Copies of this chain bind each other. A is one copy, B any other.
């Protein structure tokens, strides 16, 4: 059985500096954003640079009337959603309703210039509003100190924006990848329930409501104040809730009728306002928004509190709402980009969203991002470019300037119903079932996020879930899989004996594949596990020829450190008269082994092979070729190892 044997070679030499440069590039610039600039003349480079910073320069010149028609329709549609949502979400954040409208005016304009997504519709979102409100309420009461509360909200928005922009500038966008899909599904479901529970205040007409967010305190507050429940409010709430849910259902069943659910909130607001006005329901226990200020956003840079005792809270709130809104914005942007087959640059988007929030904090807006529901409507309504954001913004401006008095009689209960309808869509049961089917650990992470948000706190639940999923990654490294390989008959292919039932063991050889980088965190385990494999193998092959060689298939060992190298030295000692053979160590591994292997112990021609097949063939023939007493022959091989 002669067979050509191919050598394992280390990669070409690179200096530490070159390696560091390559590593840094892969870490921070995996998408190689400068590639398009390469080899271009200076003028073109400047244009490309300006287009990179302001994507509007890219699509603006090609803009035409046909595109505008589509954008006008979609812009008006999302405006009809944005106005009631803006008012409702601001209330969710314990802010004056008008701030929600302000936040739908300036940020969309900024995003239209800087953003690279064509579908993202910008505005306040439920989860960031909820978290902002609940975190600030820990220290300041929005009713007792409304001005201070507003100041803190704007300052948090500034910090959120700065944090988001700096993540983008420092190219640390991968941080938001740690909020995995499983975490987001659990988190959003939990947050949807928390948000809906908060709406019980307006849906039941309760005046004394819990300040806390958790399931337990809210439910206890609801049932302790049962005497405050107002049947008029409840009746009205149920009617409009049914109406909104029905509209949503229709749009889900027939996507062409997207405008039914998109227009339903505004229609509900109009109908309920007229109704209240007609029957003077505000005198019959139905609470209304009340007088709203007219006019567009006043400046708010003088309201930013950059010192004082609340600075810590404000920074924490900014970072958490910043991360949450960024995650939603990026995820929404990516989803629609994938759907319509264009690319969204994550780090670029972070800068756009961040800058938008910084500008927002100067102009009386609170945290905004690309909202999921609004963007979906936008896309459905046929938006072609960010101009639909401009249309929405102008519509909101007109509302702010002229239509604010009309909202005076809008009942709070309808706003509550609008929020509940919006967030109920965030509970994604099929996705949860799918996760359960595919990966039980991911399901556990999801459950932790869900229950954590419900029973601990929004930040606590998220932190627990992120910690758990990071722990899983570490556990995969600490306890890497080792599998025994066998030969698939009639081939030279060696595969997992457990997975491929037809694969057979080769007597005298124990072939293990290690499926993780070898480092300080797992060498103890790998050492113990390998010895156990050997002992088990020796127990099972009592009658067959005894174990001669341990072949380690290293194709899946992507990296090694100094501790990892000591594993081989230890194995070598424990294996005694058995040979230790390495197969296909990858470039980094062979390089480091070579450097460490002063005694020339591991990486000699006779114990380093390119494939398992070649190793087995070569070692078997060497054994046979030697003296008839096999043991003697073995010792020769081993001693020259």
- A-side residues, CB < 8 A to B, are 4, 6, 9-12, 16, 19-20, 26-27, 30-32, 35, 173-174, 177-178, 180-183, 338, 341, 346, 434-435, 437-442, 469-470, 473-481, 483, 488, 490-491, 493, 495-496, 498-501, 515-517, 519-525, 528-529, 531-532, 535, 555-559, 561-563, 565-566, 570, 573-574, 584, 586-587, 590, 592, 595-596, 610-611
This chain's copy number in the assembly:
2
Tell me whether A177 and B478 are in contact (CB under 8 A): yes
A574 and B470 alpha carbons, distance in the complex (Å): 29
Tell me whether A521 and B561 are in contact (CB under 8 A): no
Which of chain B's residues have a CB closer than 8 A to the CB of A480?
558
Q: With A438-B595, A490-B4, A520-B177 as given contacts, are A481 and B558 in contact (CB-CB < 8 Å)?
A: yes
Tell me whether A516 and B558 are in contact (CB under 8 A): yes
A476 and B448 alpha carbons, distance in the complex (Å): 26
Residue of B346, B479, B521, B610 touching A524 (CB-CB under 8 A): B346
Residue of B520, B535, B611 touching A493 (CB-CB under 8 A): B611
Distance from A324 Cβ to chain B, minimum over Cβ atoms (Å) = 16
Tell me whether B181 and A9 are in contact (CB under 8 A): no
A440 and B358 alpha carbons, distance in the complex (Å): 40
Which of chain B's residues have a CB closer than 8 A to the CB of A566?
181
A65 and B32 alpha carbons, distance in the complex (Å): 74
Which of chain B's residues have a CB closer than 8 A to the CB of A475?
27
Tell me whether B479 and A27 are in contact (CB under 8 A): yes
Residue of B12, B31, B573 touching A532 (CB-CB under 8 A): B31
Excluding A10-B499, A555-B556, 6 further A-B contacts by CB distance (< 8 Å) are: A6-B491, A182-B562, A435-B562, A473-B477, A481-B558, A496-B586
A473 and B558 alpha carbons, distance in the complex (Å): 11
Q: With A27-B479, A524-B174, A559-B476 as given contacts, are A570 and B516 in contact (CB-CB < 8 Å)?
A: no
A441 and B517 alpha carbons, distance in the complex (Å): 15
Tell me whether A469 and B434 are in contact (CB under 8 A): no
Q: With A177-B524, A438-B565 as given contacts, are A499 and B586 in contact (CB-CB < 8 Å)?
A: yes
Q: With A177-B524, A438-B595 as given contacts, are A529 and B27 in contact (CB-CB < 8 Å)?
A: no
Nearest residue in B to A585 (C-beta to C-beta)? B499
Query: What 7 pairs across the A-B complex have the smallest Cβ distances?
Result: A180-B520, A515-B558, A556-B556, A11-B499, A499-B587, A31-B528, A442-B562
Which of chain B's residues have a CB closer than 8 A to the CB of A590?
499
Nearest residue in B to A174 (C-beta to C-beta)? B478
